[in-house]
Amino acid sequence: DGGITQSPKYLFRKEGQNVTLSCEQNLNHDAMYWYRQDPGQGLRLIYYSQIVNDFQKGDIAEGYSVSREKKESFPLTVTSAQKNPTAFYLCASSIGEGVSYNEQFFGPGTRLTVL
């Protein structure tokens, strides 16, 4: 079955530690995205990538880093510089051309809690 996987579902970390969230897709999509969602809030874009080895900052990139070395994978690192990292993190992908950018497919999300 094609889809997007994120692991782990729940993650706990101590303050000051970097943590990397995994996102893998087997949909053969070119574009991938990372969003942050806080309780009762909408989706805020952290980083996105339209093609391998290229990515752009979204609206709230500070304190986060990404890489896109393979088409299937787009890991997100939450660094210790992120002031308030506790949140629900969602990874998404889209085919990556024309009107298809309107339709994004989301993974199940990772709920990060920093203690």
| Site for other proteins, rule CB under 8 A | 31, 33, 41-45, 48, 50, 58, 90, 92, 96, 99, 101-109
Work out how close the CB of 9 gets to other proteins at its nearest, in angstroms, rounded to a whole number. 10
**Is the CB of 3 or the CB of 18 nearer to other proteins?**
3
Q: Which is nearer to other proteins, 17 or 97 (CB)?
A: 97
Q: Are 90 and 107 in contact (CB under 8 A)?
A: yes
Between vectors from CA 19 to CA 86 and to CA 2, what angle results, nearest 5°?
90
